[in-house]
A and B are shown apart, each in its own frame.
Chain A
Amino acid sequence: MKIVQLSIFLENKAGRLAQVIEILAKTGVNIRALALADTKDFGVLRIIVDEPDKAVKVLKEANVVVKTTDIIAVEVEDTPGGLDKVLKVFKDEEINIEYMYAFVEKNNNNAVLVFRVDKTDESIVKLTAKKVKILTAGDVSKI
């Protein structure tokens, strides 16, 4: 299952992240996962939210540059070797990871890995074949 992630362009200036987050807070959108990539001048905020369509709408209304991106979220045991097992699948299948981030799920203490890859559909097939647990949008919104 592909999951929709919101990618937001942020200029590198004090208070900008807070402004964007405030827009979401006021709309009642809940952030499930968040990662921030930055360069010297700008950042790209990547978030997974419970209501992506609503979030996109309010952000666009506020002139925020936002794009949706398909990502894959997988759940692994939070033990040594958990990430390694998943990365091996990508390596063996020559799937390129553009970026990834990870967080620990509070319900069962498993780790959730979020991947943006060059071949999303193919990855899902291969990961499923290797019995890696792929999360659905519904799963993620319950985290």
Chain B
Amino acid sequence: MEFYSKAESMSREELEKLQSERLIKTVRRVYEKVPFYKKKFDEAGVSPKDIKSVADLSKLPFTTKQDMRDNYPYGLFAAPMKDICRIHASSGTTGKMTVVGYTKNDIEVWAELIARCITMAGGTKDDIIHNAYGYGLFTGGLGVHYGAEKLGATVIPVSGGNSQRQLKIMEDFGSTMLTCTPSYALNLAETAKEMHLDRSKLKLKAGLFGAEPWSENMRRDIEKMWGIDALDIYGLSEIMGPGVANECLQKNGLHIFEDHFIPEIIDPATGKNVPDGVAGELVFTCITKEGIPLIRYRTRDITRLLPTQCACGRTLRRMERLSGRTDDMLIIRGVNVFPSEIEMVIMNIEGVEPHYQIIIDRAEHGLDELEVQVEVNEKIFSDEIKVLEDLEKKIAKEIFTILGIGVKVKLVEPKTIARSEGKAKRIIDKRKI
């Protein structure tokens, strides 16, 4: 088995030494360069001098998504803007996006980590990578792109959408690896079937799928429909983007690139670390990032670290496939959405009742469908169908403009959406993942 980097199989002792050196440097750096961290460390009564090794990590305070919002857009950057060469952003809970910046070196490290991921899936410079992640502010498209180039492979920057064209390209250009969300991989397979595409004409052998939760059942379906190895890739823009962790062909947990990110699992209620093997909230500390090196960032993702070493020979610890979130964030076709954001859009449309419900569903091998049900009242009700249909379109358009996701709006009768005591049940997730 080939590894892209020696770091993937270094001894735990060596790795911890490297992590400690990098952690000490990063902590010192953020203390000096980011006023937010200076204040936060001072308030917690911890000085960079107290951090002598990885063992001291838990002395440091956490960073949260709220901290990113409070310091929007560039407040947590540890490098001057002249050294920031790229910005990415994802949606946030109050209309404010989560903004991250990368230095040249950050982009270089990111590319190397993606190159490691592709190698894990059996990819080499001879591969043709069909990159159907969205290109833009979302980290998926450009993240994978630079990594594929770094490896020396050929990348097709096809981006998302237009499935029939995707399949034509796949067949004609001889794509050997597919990168996209797992639901899109299934959707493409379904379209291929409808088009009676002859699978023997395709050269596809593996795929890296991520940016949304999926399951072993979905893996089985994707592998069967495409005849490929389907691997899970994990990441989040706050830490870097895709490529923070990735599955190897053992398909038994995702190797975390611990030489760049130190993982911890905490009890989300107490903030205390839990032992390997116990599920809790995943926390990351960036130890090589220059643009925005977050310290003990609470991802809100729930998983556990696997206590044993992987049969592939890599010494990097593995995290299990994500099992959930500690907040109400939804991932719709790879886009992060908070129900509160949809609520804000609805509340800003004149005359619309504050009673709404969000129903998420996914047809078999289909993409996520989001239906927003809004109660009709006398103010917005019109005798004319077109006025009501225009209202549905208007709400859908506002949501698309602000959140970037297409939704179906359905007007329902008043008092039909359940009013529960206290917090209303706004979200009904019917997806069987």
Q: Which residues of A contact B (CB under 8 A)?
A: 5, 7, 9-11, 16, 37, 39, 41-42, 44, 46, 63-67, 69, 98-99, 116
A98 to B387 alpha-carbon distance, docked (Å): 11
A66 to B381, CA, bound (A): 8
- Given A42-B410, A65-B414, 17 more A-B residue pairs with CB atoms under 8 Å apart are A9-B376, A9-B413, A10-B413, A11-B411, A11-B412, A11-B413, A39-B389, A41-B410, A42-B411, A63-B414, A65-B377, A65-B413, A66-B378, A67-B378, A67-B382, A116-B383, A116-B384
CB < 8 Å A-B pair total: 50
- Tell me the minimal C-beta distance from B240 to chain A in angstroms: 42
Q: Please indicate the chain B residues that have their CB under 8 angstroms from the CB of A11 in the complex.
A: 411-413, 416
Which B residues touch A9, using CB under 8 A?
A: 376, 381, 388, 411, 413
Q: Using an 8 Å CB-CB cutoff, how does the interface string of B268-305 with A read, 1 for contact, 0 for none?
A: 00000000000000000000000000000000000000
A10 to B377, CA, bound (A): 12
How long is the Cα–Cα vector from A42 to B382 in the complex, in angstroms?
12
Nearest chain A CB to B358 CB, angstrom units: 16
Given the complex of chains A and B, what is the CA–CA distance between A63 and B417 in angstroms? 13
Q: Show the binding face of B for A, using Cβ within 8 Å.
A: 376-378, 381-385, 388-389, 410-416
Q: State how many angstroms separate the Cβ of B359 from the closest Cβ of chain A.
A: 13
A65 touches B410 (CB 8 A): no
Query: With a CB–CB cut-off of 8 A, which chain B residues contact A116?
Result: 383-384
The answer to whether B381 and A65 have CB atoms under 8 Å apart is yes
Cα-based distance from A41 to B413 in the complex (angstroms):
11
Q: A44: which B residues are within 8 A, CB to CB?
A: 383-385, 388
Q: How far is the CB of B74 from chain A (nearest CB, A)?
A: 44
Contacts of B385 in A (CB 8 A): 37, 39, 44
B378 engages A42 (CB within 8 Å): no
Q: Which B-chain residue is minimally distant from A64 (CB atoms)?
A: B413
Residue on B nearest A99 in the bound complex, by CB: B384
